[in-house]
């Protein structure tokens, strides 16, 4: 009887065991409930600069290895074509104008560490939710989301106030002013406008004072004092933009402490890599989030001597190849600690390459492959289509390419979901959880429409018509390229969002990206039978989207952008700000 019972149990258990063994490896997702998450973001890298996206002259073996071992997205879209708004959208999962991080004027990024604008404290980043879920959270590298609001030490916009336990890097962004041997890059047009504003406010103040003294104008002394204060503020900002930029903007911080002022650029790369690997080693025994925000490949293209002259694309190519090497060092650190199978790694760029960044015949900006346009252009694909690669061995299928519209904003719900957190219910989240698409359990992206802004100005709208496979894109506004026939705004250095430098289209320019990814041949009612239907559907979706927008304070207003001495991070006694704590000095 016992023998019969044993056989019966065996007959039940054996199929169960075989069934479990035959389950695909993707079921490991239910076992690894809180994976480590490593986010690698390049700065100004063009989609055409990476080997796995078609470049055969710049060597990127480590980024290519990520794609070979994971999933490559071919329609990965930034929510903005410039650093500050794109990164705000990445961190919050929301279009940047929802948080006030897109501009109504030409000041489209944060210009000073001593400005008062930045990512609002009431925004909830994915880092904050992961921190609440028990993750160790670290940001190494570039921030560019502001520092202070009202005083030098309130740190209201600082990474540590937005969910990161640890920060080491630049609170600002790299500019050529940071490299003493380079030509200053700080926006010359911005300087001219500052000087013009200074003169205008000064003239108004002088006129009001004379009117008060002569009795011709009735002006209170309190008003005169305010005008004089504004005049002084604008003058100090204009004056500080000459020669002081390196000391005010090119600084390194560890948490709230300034460690280098100005930064010592010769060792920045090695320090950022060391800090990244150290963070992994310190936190290997619990879930961690590491956001490695590279300073590569933004000008002035800080490149160590080991990589100079190695590429076929001059200094820019050298810089990209060094960044790829850094990616490899981080992946090796993950492997060394035995974390490869429990770590989701993501690589992307914050927006497209900067076509107009040149010095003489030297091209210092990136290449966007077959896609039209580049950095600062809110509608054209070259400004917003970026590399997007995910690797998670045993969970995501290796060597897969997905040609579906996805967004940098999708990292937010994806990371929150993997950490076991909940999305905020008191605000609109524009990102979508990518795990079903990445794992192959669904065929299509959840994004039906994506809205492409330049500042607060809607330049284009994308419609993914899933039943037909078409990806329609309507351009309402496009920049005017100069010189004629060029692919960028070489006369300005940046393409504008509004004014004389743009063309408005009514009806809009329409393209089907599934047939014309380079946006070379606009469709019309004569060449496309669905033209009016598509335009009507996109217009309906746009109106619906606009109803979800609510007014918020403008973080990039002129007042918030202008430099304020009382907000300037300072190592020492202001204005004598200088230190080198990394060099024990």
- For residues 143-155, give the mean pLDDT: 97
Which secondary-structure segment (H or E) carries 576? strand 576-577
How far is CA 154 from each of CA 84, 165, 261, 390, 528, rounded to the nearest angstrom?
A: 20, 17, 19, 36, 56
Q: Which of 384, 388, 385 is nearest to 345 (CA)?
A: 388
Q: For residue 362, is it within any domain? A: yes
Can you read off the two tokens belonging to residue 486?
Answer: 């060029």
Residues 222 and 347 in one domain: no
Determine whether 579 is an active site residue: no
Residues 320 and 414 in one domain: yes
Q: Which of 434, 432, 421, 429 is nearest to 163 (CA)?
A: 421
Residues 435 and 302 in one domain: yes
Residues 87 and 215 in one domain: no
Residues 152 and 261 in one domain: yes
How far is CA 236 from each of CA 191, 232, 289, 392, 487, rounded to the nearest angstrom?
A: 12, 6, 40, 51, 37
Residues 129 and 238 in one domain: no
pLDDT 10s digits, 104-123: 999 999 999 999 999 999 99
Radius of gyration of the chain (CA): 26
pLDDT at 472: 98
Q: For residue 478, is it within any domain? A: no
Can you read off the two tokens belonging to residue 443?
Answer: 């065929």
pLDDT at 219: 76
pLDDT 10s digits, 312-352: 999 999 999 999 999 999 999 999 999 999 999 999 999 99
CB-CB contact of 521 with 510 (8 Å): no
Residues 329 and 358 in one domain: yes
Determine whether 144 is an active site residue: yes
Distance CA 76, CA 426 (A): 27
Q: For residue 136, is it within any domain? A: yes
Q: For the chain, give the number of residues.
A: 585
Q: For residue 503, is it within any domain? A: no
Of 191-205, 235-249, 471-485, give the range with the top mean pLDDT. Answer: 471-485
Q: For residue 533, is it within any domain? A: no
Residues 301 and 349 in one domain: yes
Distance CA 415, CA 346 (A): 11
pLDDT 10s digits, 371-390: 999 999 999 999 999 999 99
Q: For residue 502, is it within any domain? A: no
Distance CA 110, CA 557 (A): 10
Residues 136 and 214 in one domain: no
Task: Give just the sign of the alpha carbon dihedral 186, 192, 193, 198.
Answer: positive
Q: Phi then psi for 386, rounded to 5 degrees?
A: -130, 165
Residues 228 and 116 in one domain: no
Distance CA 238, CA 316 (A): 31
Q: pTM value?
A: 0.88
CATH number for the domain spanning 124: value is 3.40.720.10
Of the residues 7, 52, 76, 83, which is catalytic? Answer: 83
Position 529 pLDDT exceeds 50: yes
Task: Return left, alpha or beta for 469; rule: phi > 0 is left, psi -120 to 50 is alpha, else beta.
Answer: left
Q: For residue 168, is it within any domain? A: yes
Q: Average per-residue pLDDT in the chain?
A: 91
Helix, strand or coil, per DSSP, at residue 545:
helix
Decide which of 231 and 192 is more confident.
231
Q: Is 362 exposed, middle or buried (0-12, 13-18, 19+ CB in 10 A)?
A: exposed
Domain residue limits at 377: 41-174+252-441+567-580
Residues 111 and 203 in one domain: no
How far is CA 427 from each of CA 93, 343, 527, rounded to the nearest angstrom?
A: 10, 29, 41
Q: For residue 536, is it within any domain? A: no
Position 181 pLDDT exceeds 80: no
Residues 230 and 378 in one domain: no
Q: Which of 139, 141, 102, 138 is nearest to 120 (CA)?
A: 102
Give the count of domains, the chain. 2
């Amino acid at each position: 009887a016992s023998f019969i019972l044993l056989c019966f149990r065996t007959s039940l258990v054996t199929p169960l065991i075989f069934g479990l063994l035959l389950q695909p490896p993707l079921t490991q997702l239910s076992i690894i409930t809180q994976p480590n998450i490593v986010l690698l973001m390049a700065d100004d890298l063009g989609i055409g600069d990476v080997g796995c996206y078609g470049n055969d002259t710049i060597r990127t073996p480590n980024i290519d290895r990520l794609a070979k071992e994971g999933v490559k997205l071919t329609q990965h879209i930034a929510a903005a074509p410039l650093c500050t708004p794109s990164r705000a959208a990445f961190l919050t999962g929301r279009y940047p104008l929802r948080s006030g991080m897109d501009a109504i004027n030409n000041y489209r990024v944060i210009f000073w560490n001593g400005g008062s604008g930045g990512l609002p404290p009431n925004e909830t980043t994915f880092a904050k939710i992961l921190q609440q879920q028990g993750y160790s959270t670290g940001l190494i590298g570039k921030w560019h989301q502001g520092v202070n609001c009202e005083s030098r030490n309130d740190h209201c916009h600082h990474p540590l106030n937005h969910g990161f336990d640890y920060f080491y890097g630049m609170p600002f962004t790299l500019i050529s002013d940071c490299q003493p041997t380079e030509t200053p890059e700080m926006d010359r047009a911005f300087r001219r406008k500052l000087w013009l504003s200074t003169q205008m406010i000064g003239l108004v103040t002088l006129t009001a004072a004379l009117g008060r003294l002569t009795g011709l104008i009735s002006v209170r002394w309190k008003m005169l004092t305010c005008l004089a204060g504004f005049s002084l503020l604008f003058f100090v900002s204009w004056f500080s933009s000459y020669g002081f930029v390196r000391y005010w903007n090119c600084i390194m911080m560890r948490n709230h402490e300034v460690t280098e002022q100005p930064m010592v650029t010769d060792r920045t790369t090695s320090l950022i890599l060391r800090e990244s690997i150290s963070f992994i080693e310190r936190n290997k025994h619990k879930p961690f989030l590491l956001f490695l925000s590279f300073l590569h490949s933004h000008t002035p293209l800080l490149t160590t001597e080991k990589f100079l002259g190695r590429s076929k694309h001059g200094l820019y190519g050298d810089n990209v190849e060094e960044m790829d090497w850094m990616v490899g060092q981080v992946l090796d650190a993950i492997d060394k600690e035995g974390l490869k199978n429990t770590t989701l790694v993501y690589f992307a760029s914050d927006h497209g390459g900067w076509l107009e960044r040149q010095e003489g015949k030297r091209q210092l900006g990136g290449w966007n492959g077959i896609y039209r346009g580049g950095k600062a252009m809110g509608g054209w694909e070259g400004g917003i289509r970026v590399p997007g690669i995910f690797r998670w061995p045993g969970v995501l299928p290796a060597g897969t390419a997905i040609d579906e519209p996805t967004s940098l904003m999708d990292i937010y719900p994806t990371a929150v979901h993997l950490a076991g957190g909940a999305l905020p219910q008191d605000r609109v989240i524009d990102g979508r959880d990518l795990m079903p698409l990445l794992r192959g359990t669904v065929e299509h992206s959840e994004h039906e429409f994506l809205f492409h802004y330049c500042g607060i100005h809607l330049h284009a709208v994308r419609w993914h018509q899933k039943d037909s496979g078409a990806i329609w894109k309507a351009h309402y506004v496009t920049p005017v390229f100069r010189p004629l026939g060029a692919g960028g705004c070489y006369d300005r250095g940046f393409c504008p969002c509004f004014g004389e430098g743009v063309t408005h289209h009514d009806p809009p320019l329409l393209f089907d990206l599934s047939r014309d990814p380079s946006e070379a041949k606009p469709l019309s009612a004569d060449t496309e039978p669905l033209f009016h239907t598509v335009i009507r559907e996109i217009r309906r979706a746009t109106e619906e989207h606009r109803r979800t927008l609510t007014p918020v304070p403008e973080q990039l207003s002129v007042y918030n952008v202008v430099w304020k001495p009382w907000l300037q991070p300072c190592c020492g006694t202001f204005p004598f700000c200088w230190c080198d704590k990394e060099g024990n000095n």
